[in-house]
């Protein structure tokens, strides 16, 4: 019987169980009309799905990102339509100067050209956004699995050192990964993704400049490209919170020259980001700060296509409206904030723990009051006040309602 094989199997099971995702839950606080348990019901979205993949499959998520080069905005593609708009405007102005009433056809031609130009431009922009989101999630998922594989490799070495005296032959590592080369590939892919977004951002601005030159109206040009900045479905690659995640991933290694450094402080509490949540406008906030802002504003709840209730929120930073269920968790940005400001992040963690304990105690006290009111006079003595019980065992933290119920011998 091969003892080492048995040890390998046991160690593999141990590592698979230990590397599961840690659930994050925030208790519901019933205040106002805001569904503050939105993190439990629907959002924010998680692009890291470590439960369904294995670390050794991380190479499958790295792609050469060739699709990025195939889907790129090209201003030259729209130049014929822009030239047609310019000629139509010139002809219309000439007829207006001659008091010619034949301008109705020019108005119709101009409207048709505008519609076709907008449809083509926004269709291409939507394709760019879709490709960017898929590629960015692949890169971030591969980066997350790199960290998981590295942690497993270190843990397997420690367990191997402990179990080595129990077996005669050399203890083989149950997991064998080549981390260095794949990590370089992931960071290179993140850099390619960011540069591709930057070039497409310049293309959008170039289209706006060409439109302004063709029509002679800066207001009309700004109105033409406004949906790219206001609609995450059209121009999500311009303001997506995934951009912050990619920059945080690169900054964890080294920041390329000229690359923008992400902000690691919350705009609301001005402290290090703790469990940050990114809105579609590209701004990140601590999850509890954003929840407090929603409670203060008493946002309304709306149903979206039969799914979980969604909240139309106004970004506390830029005042842009967005759906809360489209928010994204940002673990890379949180890791960067924890590295840059460890003391502030530890204070945020302790404050969050105290808030959770206070909310749980408040919930238990409310439940105990409802139980006492429901029991009535006959069973009122069977339930002690939770405040007195908490005073007796103050060092144990919040107590459960079951701890305040007197049990008799017959129970």
Higher-scoring residue by pLDDT: 98, 78: 78
Tens-digit pLDDT profile for residues 139-178: 787 777 765 555 444 444 444 444 444 443 433 333 233 3
Question: Confidence band (pLDDT; 50, 70, 90) for 355?
Answer: confident
- CA gap 106, 91 in Å, rounded: 8
Strand segments (E) across 263-396: 276-278, 284-286, 301-302, 310-314, 321-323, 328-329
Which bin fits 89, alpha (ψ -120 to 50), beta or left (φ > 0)? alpha
> Residues 237-242: what's their mean pLDDT?
84
- CA gap 146, 128 in Å, rounded: 27
> Residues 198-217: what's their mean pLDDT?
83
Tens-digit pLDDT profile for residues 167-206: 434 333 332 333 445 556 677 778 888 888 888 888 888 8
Angle at CA of residue 272, ends 268 and 278, nearest 5°: 60
Question: Confidence band (pLDDT; 50, 70, 90) for 341?
Answer: confident
- 310: three-class secondary structure by DSSP: strand
Task: Strand 328-329: give its sheet, edge to edge.
Answer: 284-286, 276-278, 328-329
**What pLDDT was estimated at residue 159?**
47
**What pLDDT was estimated at residue 331?**
84
**What pLDDT was estimated at residue 240?**
84
Per-residue DSSP letter, 272: B
**What domains can you pick out in the chain, each with its CATH number?**
24-53+263-340 (3.30.40.10), 54-259 (no CATH), 356-404 (no CATH)
Most confident of 65-69, 209-213, 325-329: 209-213
**Would the pLDDT of 72 be above 70?**
yes
Lowest mean pLDDT among 51-55, 208-212, 224-228, 233-237: 51-55
> Residues 351-372: what's their mean pLDDT?
82
CB neighbours of 296 closer than 8 A, spacing ≥ 6?
none
> Residues 354-378: what's their mean pLDDT?
77
């Amino acid at each position: 019987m091969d003892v080492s094989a048995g040890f390998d199997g046991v160690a593999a099971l141990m590592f698979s169980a230990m590397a599961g995702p840690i659930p994050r839950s925030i208790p519901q606080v019933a205040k106002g009309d805001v569904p503050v348990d939105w993190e439990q019901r629907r959002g924010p979205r998680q692009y890291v799905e470590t439960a369904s993949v294995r670390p050794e499959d991380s190479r499958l998520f790295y792609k050469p990102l060739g699709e990025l080069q195939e889907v790129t905005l090209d201003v030259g593609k729209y130049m014929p339509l822009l030239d047609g708009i310019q000629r139509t405007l010139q002809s219309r102005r000439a007829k207006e100067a001659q008091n010619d009433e034949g301008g109705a056809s020019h108005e119709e031609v101009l409207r048709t050209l505008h519609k076709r130009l907008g449809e083509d431009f926004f269709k291409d922009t939507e394709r760019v956004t879709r490709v960017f989101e898929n590629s960015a999630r692949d890169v971030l998922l591969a980066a997350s699995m790199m960290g998981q594989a590295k942690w497993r490799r270190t843990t397997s070495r420690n367990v191997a050192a402990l179990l080595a005296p129990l077996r005669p032959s050399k203890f083989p590592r149950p997991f064998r990964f080549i981390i260095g080369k794949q990590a370089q590939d992931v960071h290179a892919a993140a850099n390619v993704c960011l540069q591709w977004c930057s070039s497409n951002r310049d293309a959008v601005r170039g289209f706006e400049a060409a439109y302004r030159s063709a029509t002679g109206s800066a207001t009309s040009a700004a109105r033409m490209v406004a949906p790219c900045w206001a609609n995450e479905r059209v121009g999500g690659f311009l303001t997506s919170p995934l951009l912050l995640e990619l920059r945080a991933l690169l900054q964890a290694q080294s920041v390329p020259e000229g690359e923008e450094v992400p902000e690691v402080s919350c705009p609301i509490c001005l402290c290090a980001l703790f469990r940050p949540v990114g809105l579609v406008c590209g701004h990140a906030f601590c999850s509890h700060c954003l929840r407090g802002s929603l409670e203060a504003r008493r946002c309304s709840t709306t149903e979206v296509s039969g799914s979980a209730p969604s909240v139309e929120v106004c970004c506390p930073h830029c005042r842009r409206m967005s759906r809360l269920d489209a928010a994204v968790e940002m673990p890379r940005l949180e890791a960067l904030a924890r590295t840059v400001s460890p003391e502030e992040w530890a204070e945020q963690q302790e404050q969050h723990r105290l808030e959770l304990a206070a909310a749980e105690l408040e919930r238990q006290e409310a439940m105990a009051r409802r139980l006492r009111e429901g029991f009535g006079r006959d069973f009122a003595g069977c339930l002690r006040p939770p405040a007195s019980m908490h005073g007796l065992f103050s060092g144990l933290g919040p107590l459960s309602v079951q701890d305040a119920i007197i049990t008799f011998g017959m129970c």
